[in-house]
Amino acid sequence: MLVLLLIALLAWLQYRLWFGSGGNREVAALQQQVQQQTRDNAGLKQRNEALAAEVEDLKSGEAAVEERARSELGMIKPGETFYRVVETEPAPQADADKDTQ
């Protein structure tokens, strides 16, 4: 009788270990969530550091503000002349072969 009771207790404990609340499956799922959150946090931390560096650069000097105004807004200083260089497309290869024959 005692042996049967101990076997039943062991079976119940094994069930709780593998399938119950706080069991191995739940622990594995939580570990996977922690790993995913760690990866997400690393990406966000890198993005925050890049933004902080850009903010510091914009606060620290006029050169960064000037460069941004020139590239994004197309602004020029008084007295400067703006030149736009447009590259022409090269002639198609088939037309070039016909001209040489």
Confidence of residue 22 (pLDDT cuts 50, 70, 90): confident
Range of the domain at 37: 24-85
Confidence of residue 42 (pLDDT cuts 50, 70, 90): very high
Of 82 and 52, the one with more pLDDT: 52
pTM: 0.43
Count the domains in the chain. Answer: 1
- 51 occurs within a structural domain: yes
- 74 occurs within a structural domain: yes
- 50 occurs within a structural domain: yes
Of 90 and 52, the one with more pLDDT: 52
- 94 occurs within a structural domain: no
pLDDT (mean) for 66-75: 80
Q: How many residues does the chain have?
A: 101
pLDDT (mean) for 66-72: 80
91: left (phi over 0), alpha (psi -120 to 50) or beta: beta
79: left (phi over 0), alpha (psi -120 to 50) or beta: left
- 52 occurs within a structural domain: yes
